[in-house]
Amino acid sequence: MPMDGAKTERLRETLAKYMAKKGLRSTEQRRLIVDTFFESPAHITIEELLANVRASDPKVGYATVYRTLKLLAESGIAHERRFGDGVTRYELADDEDEHHDHLICTECQAIIEFEDPRLEEIEQEIAERYGFEVQWHKHELYGVCASCQEKRNKKARNGRRK
């Protein structure tokens, strides 16, 4: 029994509509994978999701998770993300008009989400400048997070003391 917020609810509807339109079927595996995905933290990989799914049903195959995630992406309720470490990650779509972006720590791989409406405005303006019709965007700042900076400083102090 997945605990569904208003947002989740809306996404489920979107998915149902998409599947109906395309004549796709609701199977036990798909329901399980989708439910598990909805309960998972953002930026999950296929591998991770598969592990979670197998906790409920060990017989589910990698390919099914792979294909279901593709389906979610096509239907627009999930986004594929590649943060440059070679794996594809998935996250639930945002609401119609809100988007968030990411800060990615290059030391501990932490992913922090942020949001700023001004960025959206400027992006829109740029797109117009080029007659470009934006479908989605990717905005990622790579660097060192606060806690890794601290660790780094601590290490420096210890090194000196020795």
Q: Give the interface with DNA as residue ranges (CB under 7 A).
A: 19, 23-30, 45-47, 57, 59-64, 66-68, 70, 86-88
The site partner of 42 among DNA, its own copies, none (C-beta below 5 to 8 Å per kind) is: none
Query: Which does residue 135 bind out of its own copies, DNA, none, counting CB within 5 to 8 angstroms by kind?
Result: its own copies
The C-alpha torsion from 127 through 129 and 133 to 136, rounded to 10°, is: 0
Q: How far apart are CA 162 and CA 159, in angstroms?
A: 5
Q: How far apart are CB 112 and its own copies at their closest, in Å? A: 6
72 binds, among DNA, its own copies, none (CB under 5 to 8 A by kind): none
How many whole angstroms separate alpha carbon 121 and alpha carbon 54? 43
Does residue 43 come out as left (phi exceeding 0), alpha (psi in the -120 to 50 range) or beta?
left
Q: Which CB sits closer to DNA, 21 or 161?
A: 21
CB of 113 to DNA, least distance (A): 20
Residue 62 interacting entry, from its own copies, DNA, none, C-beta within 5 to 8 Å by type: DNA
**Residues with Cβ < 8 Å from 141, sequence gap 6 or more?**
101, 102, 103, 104
Q: How far is CA 156 from CA 100, 144, 153, 162, in A?
A: 34, 16, 5, 10
Task: Evaluate whether 119 touches 101 at the Cβ level (below 8 Å).
Answer: yes
Residue 66 vs 151, nearer CB to DNA: 66
Interface residues toward its own copies, by CB under 8 A: 80, 82, 84, 103, 105-106, 112, 114, 116, 118-119, 122-123, 126-127, 129-146, 149
